[in-house]
């Protein structure tokens, strides 16, 4: 029996979450031997945990999504992670395998009937499976290639562009021949977009008074495709600047996740009619069959260093709450994850 550090939800969250809504607890213990006479069980040593804005929604008592459930107060958070199998009585998993899937925020986990995927490609950093090779990567891939119908020469705008999804989407759009502008929340991020990720232009939305006028300045001829990670006021400003038959890939609304009970209104919806705009909500869950196709694209790009990817790694479970909550004030630069232990 060893101590098993965990990050627990302390109480349901209303409004902006605080670190005190979460608790790093060392109270739990776990046996590092598998139960005898029971098969189909794996013992995981957890390595990397993904911080995703959507986890905020699971901290509310009334979960608004369609795919999951609320976290339970007193129980560990759950999110996409990467783990090492340290013991297994399950035929599909062997000691030493690396796996990815939904993982508790804790040092070790015993999992029965695991819904885990064995990691096949280990020549790339394992932490990438929390982001570019995981949910964020697939979200960017599906959103760009299956949803928004972007084509060469399109005026393409992406918000939260330095985030896990945004940085990839922008690079996909550049590779497809679009004119790409991104928004982010600091000068440092704007510099990254322009100088590292190869965006045509970028701006710091926090320095802008009138987002409609800002977008008019960056897109004097209007926007063909908007990849929306933030919702709210930016979405309204984009609607005012969309071109006829423009497409909005609605991927996230991080600006709204802390006020789901009192969301901001969107006031330009009539323009959806007047300009024949399509707003396309999506999730990668409905496209899981495309994982092989996505890996065929992304793995060579990574190996040949033809795509840039930045991670923001918090070391240790103790830093998990701050890392997760930092997403909502834009503290992270690139993909935010927590390293529980290293491979």
Helix axes 211-218, 232-241, angle to 10 degrees: 50
Minimum gap (Å) between residue 18 Cβ and a copy of itself: 21
Minimum gap (Å) between residue 60 Cβ and a copy of itself: 12
Candidate list 263, 300, 303, 316; residue touching a copy of itself; CB under 8 A: 263
Q: How far apart are CA 166 and CA 305, in angstroms?
A: 18
Q: How far apart are CA 330 and CA 157, in angstroms?
A: 18
Binding residues for a copy of itself, rule CB under 8 A, total 38
Which residues in 279-298 contact a copy of itself (CB under 8 A)?
279-283, 286
Using DSSP bridges, classify how beta strands 311-315 and 335-339 pair: parallel, antiparallel or unpaired. Answer: parallel
- Segment contacting a copy of itself by CB under 8 A, of 75-83, 161-169, 277-285, 303-311: 277-285
CB atoms within 10 A of CB 297: 16
Minimum gap (Å) between residue 54 Cβ and a copy of itself: 8
Q: Is residue 29 at the binding interface for a copy of itself, with CB under 8 A as the rule? A: no
Which residues in 168-227 contact a copy of itself (CB under 8 A)?
none
- Nearest Cα to Cα of residue 79 among 334, 331, 327, 343: 327
Minimum gap (Å) between residue 106 Cβ and a copy of itself: 27
Quick check: 332 and 52 in contact, CB under 8 A? no
| Residue whose CB is less far from a copy of itself, 2 or 285 | 285
| Residue whose CB is less far from a copy of itself, 65 or 74 | 65
Phi, psi values for residue 244, rounded to 5° = -55, 135
Quick check: 157 and 179 in contact, CB under 8 A? no
Q: Specify the DSSP element, H or E, that contains 332.
A: none
- Specify the DSSP class assigned to residue 152: T
Quick check: 337 and 51 in contact, CB under 8 A? yes
Q: Is residue 260 at the binding interface for a copy of itself, with CB under 8 A as the rule? A: yes
Q: Is residue 301 at the binding interface for a copy of itself, with CB under 8 A as the rule? A: no
Binding mask 50-89 for a copy of itself (x = CB under 8 A): -------x------xxxx----------------------
Q: Which residues of the shown chain bind a copy of itself in the complex (CB under 8 A)?
A: 57, 64-67, 231, 235, 244-245, 250-253, 256-257, 260, 263-283, 286
């Amino acid at each position: 029996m060893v101590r098993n550090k965990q990050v627990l939800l302390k109480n349901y969250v209303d409004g902006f979450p605080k670190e005190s809504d979460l608790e790093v607890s060392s109270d739990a213990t776990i046996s590092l031997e598998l139960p005898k006479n029971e098969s189909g069980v794996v013992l995981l040593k957890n390595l990397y945990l993904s911080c995703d804005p959507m986890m905020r929604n699971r901290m509310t008592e009334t979960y608004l999504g369609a795919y999951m459930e609320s976290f339970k107060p007193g129980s560990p958070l759950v999110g996409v992670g990467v783990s090492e199998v340290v013991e297994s009585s399950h035929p599909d998993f062997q000691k030493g395998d690396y796996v990815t899937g939904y993982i508790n925020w804790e040092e070790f986990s015993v999992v029965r009937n695991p819904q885990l995927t064995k990691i096949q490609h280990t020549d790339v950093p394992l932490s990438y499976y929390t982001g570019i090779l995981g949910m964020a990567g697939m979200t960017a891939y599906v959103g760009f290639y299956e949803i928004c119908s972007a084509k060469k020469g399109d005026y393409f705008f992406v918000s939260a562009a330095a985030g896990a999804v945004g940085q990839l989407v922008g690079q996909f759009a550049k590779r497809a021949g679009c004119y790409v502008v991104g928004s982010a929340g600091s000068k440092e991020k704007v510099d990254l977009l322009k100088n590292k990720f190869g965006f045509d232009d970028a701006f710091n939305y926090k320095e802008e008074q009138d987002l409609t006028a800002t977008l008019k300045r960056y897109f004097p001829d209007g926007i063909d495709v908007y990849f929306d990670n933030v919702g709210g006021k930016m979405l309204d400003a984009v609607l005012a600047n969309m071109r006829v038959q423009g497409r909005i890939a609605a991927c996230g609304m991080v600006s709204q996740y802390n006020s789901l009970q009192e969301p901001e209104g969107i006031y330009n919806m009539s323009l959806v009619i007047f300009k024949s705009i399509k707003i396309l909500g999506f999730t990668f869950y409905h496209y899981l069959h495309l994982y092989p196709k996505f890996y065929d694209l992304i793995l060579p790009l990574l190996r040949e260093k033809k795509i840039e990817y930045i991670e923001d790694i918090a070391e240790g479970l103790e830093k998990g709450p701050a890392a997760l909550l930092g997403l909502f004030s834009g503290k992270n630069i690139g993909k935010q994850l927590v390293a529980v232990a290293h491979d």
